[in-house]
């Protein structure tokens, strides 16, 4: 996945403006899935840094994106529209629909996507017609009668919440410099070069394994991340245990002549 950040704003704006200007013709039913993929979805993810068209010429095993990636479901071969990968490993699927489809409420497209991703054991996947984007938690087994909103963790539209704040926002460097200054001698009481690795493990255990969530009543709560809850908590392995495991493994290998 490449970094194309310098050209992101103008290209995204162009896609959004073009879709908004012609939205009536795109939603009349004649504008099909292939067209929206080629004209909007492919360029959108190219802007996001994904090599959708394999411009780098990678071999099949190392492509960023596989189109119509075949998977086995119930004895039949199915093909999600896109399989996004890093280092050859699937990260998420994306199913594309034509803009006349109501992504927010249509049951079948959501079930189809979740079925693909759940079978492939992917944690999340995306359903889009460019007008709408829906992200699903695909760790939950899909049921054919599930509503489109079931297991959906994010829903937004292509023109939702336009950024009206940051274009004119100018933040001085001084606050950031003060933060960095507090991490170094003489303002910082810690010498990070000699900080035990156990401390870093405890940092994840106590802080990075948490997530801040806003409830429906606008109350802020601190809770474990989903993967932490599933694992029953985060438990850092102390250094002395790691040392013992490595020592026993190496001694065994030496003893048997590996």
Question: pLDDT tens digits, residue range 4-35?
Answer: 444 446 888 899 999 999 999 999 989 999 99
Residue 186 has a CB neighbour count (10 Å cut-off) of 6
Smallest Cα–Cα separation from 79: which of 122, 54, 116? 116
In this predicted structure, the answer to whether residue 197 has a pLDDT above a threshold of 80 is no
In this predicted structure, the answer to whether residue 238 has a pLDDT above a threshold of 80 is no
Q: What is the pLDDT of residues 58-68, one digit of tens each?
A: 999 899 999 98
Domains of the chain: 5-157 (3.90.1570), 195-255 (no CATH)
Q: What is the pLDDT of residues 97-139, one digit of tens each?
A: 999 999 999 999 999 999 999 999 999 999 999 999 999 999 9
Per-residue pLDDT, averaged over 151-167, amounts to 84
Share of the chain above pLDDT 90, in %: 49
- pLDDT recorded at residue 79: 87
Residues with Cβ within 8 Å of residue 244, at least 6 apart in sequence: none
Compute φ and ψ for 219, nearest 5 degrees. Answer: -105, 135
**Position with higher pLDDT, 172 vs 192:** 172
Cα–Cα distance for residue pair 125/105, rounded to 1 Å:
17
Range in 26-40, 149-163, 182-196 with the lowest mean pLDDT = 182-196
In this predicted structure, the answer to whether residue 163 has a pLDDT above a threshold of 60 is yes
- pLDDT recorded at residue 232: 59
Share of the chain above pLDDT 70, in %: 90
Q: What is the pLDDT of residues 69-89, one digit of tens each?
A: 888 777 777 889 999 999 889
Cα–Cα distance for residue pair 196/243, rounded to 1 Å:
14
| Contact in structure between 205 and 234 (CB atoms under 8 Å) | yes
Lookup: tokens for 69: 């990636």
Residue 54 has a CB neighbour count (10 Å cut-off) of 15
Lookup: tokens for 181: 């200054």
- pLDDT recorded at residue 56: 92
Count, residues in the chain: 258
pLDDT band (50, 70, 90) for residue 226:
confident
The maximal CA–CA distance of the chain, rounded, in angstroms, is 74
List, in sequence order, every beta strand (DSSP E) within 87-167: 89-96, 124-128, 132-137, 152-157
């Amino acid at each position: 996945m490449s970094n194309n950040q310098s050209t992101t704003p103008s290209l995204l704006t162009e896609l959004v403006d073009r879709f908004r200007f012609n939205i009536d013709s795109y939603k009349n039913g004649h504008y099909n899935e292939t067209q929206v993929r080629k004209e909007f979805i492919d360029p959108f993810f190219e802007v996001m840094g994904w090599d959708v068209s394999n411009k780098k010429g990678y071999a099949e095993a190392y492509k960023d994106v596989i189109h119509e990636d075949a998977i086995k479901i119930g004895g039949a071969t199915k093909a999600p529209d896109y399989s996004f990968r890093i280092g050859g490993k699937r990260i998420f699927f994306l199913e594309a629909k034509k803009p006349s489809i109501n992504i927010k409420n249509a049951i079948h497209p959501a079930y189809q996507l979740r079925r693909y991703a759940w079978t492939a054991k992917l944690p999340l996947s995306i359903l889009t017609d460019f007008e709408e984007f829906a992200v699903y938690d695909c760790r939950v087994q899909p049921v054919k009668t599930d509503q489109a909103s079931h297991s959906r963790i994010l829903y937004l539209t292509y023109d939702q919440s336009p950024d009206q704040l940051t274009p004119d926002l100018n933040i001085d460097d001084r606050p950031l410099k003060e933060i960095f200054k507090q991490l170094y001698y003489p303002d910082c009481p810690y010498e990070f070069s000699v900080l035990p690795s156990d401390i870093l493990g405890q940092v994840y255990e106590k802080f990075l394994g948490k997530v801040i969530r806003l409830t429906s009543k606008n109350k802020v709560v601190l809770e474990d991340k989903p993967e932490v809850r599933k694992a029953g908590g985060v438990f850092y392995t102390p250094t002395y245990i790691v040392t013992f495991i490595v020592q026993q493994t190496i001694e065994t290998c030496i003893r048997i002549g590996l």
